[in-house]
Structure 1
Amino acid sequence: MIKTQWRRRLPFWLLLCAGICAISLPALALVGPASEDQSFAAHVVMVLKRGGDRAGFCTGVVLAPQVVLTAAHCVAPIKDMRIHYKDDTGRPEIVEVRAVAVHPGFRADALSKRVVSIDLALVETQAPLDARFSAAELDEAGAVAVGQSVRVVGYGLGREGEGTSGGVLRSAALQVRAPLSAILLWAEDPNGAGAGACSGDSGGPILSGDGAKVLAITTWSAGPNRGVHCGAVTQGPLIAPQRAWIDGVLKRWGL
């Protein structure tokens, strides 16, 4: 188990990045593609969190120089969170967090209670991210159709259960599936090959097929068999219905 004292905070975060959270909290990540995909790298970072003697990571979408959109279940007390990326030389950058806003509709017990949850959060950093990052374009229409092509992007695991397979930015082509919802997007691998979300990819974007807009944020996945949590269904809240909340938080933060 990874343990740390507050006075040794920086070594802890560096150790976490180096190990890519071999001890991982339940999150979601991308299973399937083995190769790296840098086509959306200017809009995506990693969200690190720790709790007790455990540590985990998620993915986040850049909305402004100091704002990242992620899943609400990926956040922790500010002192236990960091934003992570690598600079142009490959050196790890660790950015402290200033503020967190969790969507008022988020329910941590949604699965057990079988209730609707809007699993979204915004994270404001203490310092601006590297200048190579730019804001992702968020969807405003909210119109999706069964069979529509989408692309899921994230830093999560390439192989379920293997923590060291995470930390590589990958993407996979999926397809919108039923049920249609005014709140959630459901997607699956149209080829049935097992691509989809799994551990570490929560908070990552589900993009339109052309990669132009963020339609939803990955928050949950399921596998094809009992005990398998990745590779069958990927799910997340649609962005368009939540634009008022997102814009309201940004305005409150003066951004």
Structure 2
Amino acid sequence: MTRTRPARQAGNQIGTPSAACVAAILTFLPAPPAGAVVGPAHDASGTVADSAVMVLQRQGAAAGFCTGVVLGPRAVLTAAHCVPPGADLRIYLKGAAVLLPVAEVVRHPGYRADAITSRERSIDLAVLLLPDPLPSAYRPATLGSEAGTAVGTRFSVAGFGLAREGDPKTSGQLRQAELAARAPLSDVLLWAVDPNHAGAGACTGDSGGPVLDGSGAVAALTLWSAGDGRHRCGALTQALWLAPFRAWIAAAAAGH
């Protein structure tokens, strides 16, 4: 399969890593990667910080990273477009300067890498299985049990991507911002915007990161972002509801 990069995707692109993670990333990546949440946001802490990791990938001369959600000691959930076939993958543990290998990638059978051009429905999910467990400080995230919501329902988005669009040096720090659901409503996809109209939202590097509901459960997984005018971030965040796919996620991560 060939990975397609939508023009405004909140995924990984080529660029330069932040100073906070440059040393660790460059030991793995010979080419410089790029990108956390743009607009009004704050550094993430607590349960979301304990269950989020960076997913690094290299494919030929291209490299980059996304965000991932911990499912178990040896299992991480992310977006399938972040882990294309043939890519060399690592899990980066921020603060520990540790790069963990990935033993296996389980992509949802409904994922279509060319969904944008072919206009097919795509379930953009992948479970990464690790040969060794994550440090004990990491905790499995709680996944949401419901899909769909009312317009205006509040969520928060978290990720390691760009904090300022166009500036890769601002990536690498887990940040979190408040969003609200907007129309159209769907039991598969969530569209969310900054309720204060101040430009908060996912950006490059945030794909695969958690969208949390009011209880702190991971209700959806970030996939895509859009901006106003020439911007690519800050106007709209799109995510995939996880409740319809919990059985598949559990089966893919079983034993890990």
TM-score interval, normalised by the smaller of the two chains: 0.7 to 0.9
Contact 2:41/2:177, CA 8 A, preserved across alignment:
no
Query: Residue 35 and residue 17 in structure 1: after superposition, are their counterparts in 2 closer, same or farther (change >3 A)?
Result: farther
Partner AA of 2:203 in structure 1: C
Matched residues, number: 236
SS at match of 1:193: coil
- In the TM superposition, what is the alpha-carbon distance from 1:14 to its structure 2 partner? 3.4
| Aligned-partner Cα distance in 1 for 2:146–2:87 | 36
The structure with the greater share of residues assigned to helix is 1
Query: Residue 238 and residue 168 in structure 1: after superposition, are their counterparts in 2 closer, same or farther (change >3 A)?
Result: same
- In the TM superposition, what is the alpha-carbon distance from 1:125 to its structure 2 partner? 0.9
| Aligned-partner Cα distance in 1 for 2:169–2:208 | 19
TM-score, scaled to structure 1? 0.85
Contact 2:33/2:65, CA 8 A, preserved across alignment:
no
User: Within 5 Å, which residues of 2 pair with 1:196-235?
Assistant: 196-210=201-215, 212-225=216-229, 227-235=230-238
SS at match of 2:116: helix
Query: Residue 231 and residue 151 in structure 1: after superposition, are their counterparts in 2 closer, same or farther (change >3 A)?
Result: same
- In the TM superposition, what is the alpha-carbon distance from 1:12 to its structure 2 partner? 9.0
Q: Sequence identity of aligned pairs in percent?
A: 49
What per-residue deviation string (whole Å, max 9, x for no partner) do you get for residues 102-154 of structure 1?
A: 11111112222222211110001111001000110001122421110000000
**Aligned twin of 1:135:** 140
Matched, 1:76 2:84: yes
SS at match of 1:111: helix
Query: Residue 174 and residue 34 in structure 1: after superposition, are their counterparts in 2 closer, same or farther (change >3 A)?
Result: closer
Partner AA of 1:95 in structure 2: L
User: Within 5 Å, which residues of 2 pair with 1:3-22?
Assistant: 14-15=25-26
User: Within 5 Å, which residues of 2 pair with 1:164-175?
Assistant: 164-175=169-180
Partner AA of 2:26 in structure 1: L
Partner AA of 2:225 in structure 1: S
Partner AA of 1:32 in structure 2: G
**Aligned twin of 2:253:** 250
Query: Residue 18 and residue 164 in structure 1: after superposition, are their counterparts in 2 closer, same or farther (change >3 A)?
Result: farther
**Aligned twin of 1:163:** 168
| Aligned-partner Cα distance in 1 for 2:108–2:180 | 27
Q: Say what the alpha-carbon RMSD is for the aligned residues.
A: 2.4
| Aligned-partner Cα distance in 1 for 2:188–2:54 | 25
Structure 2 residues without counterparts, runs of 5 or longer: 1-13, 16-21
- In the TM superposition, what is the alpha-carbon distance from 1:241 to its structure 2 partner? 0.5
TM-score, scaled to structure 2? 0.85
Contact 1:22/1:162, CA 8 A, preserved across alignment:
no
- In the TM superposition, what is the alpha-carbon distance from 1:209 to its structure 2 partner? 2.8
| Aligned-partner Cα distance in 2 for 1:143–1:59 | 23
**Aligned twin of 2:244:** 241
Partner AA of 1:83 in structure 2: I
SS at match of 2:157: strand
Partner AA of 2:191 in structure 1: W
Matched, 1:50 2:58: yes
What per-residue deviation string (whole Å, max 9, x for no partner) do you get for residues 196-238 of structure 1?
A: 011000000000034x21110001011111x321011101110
Which of 178, 183, 204 is the aligned partner of 1:178? 183
Query: Residue 183 and residue 16 in structure 1: after superposition, are their counterparts in 2 closer, same or farther (change >3 A)?
Result: farther
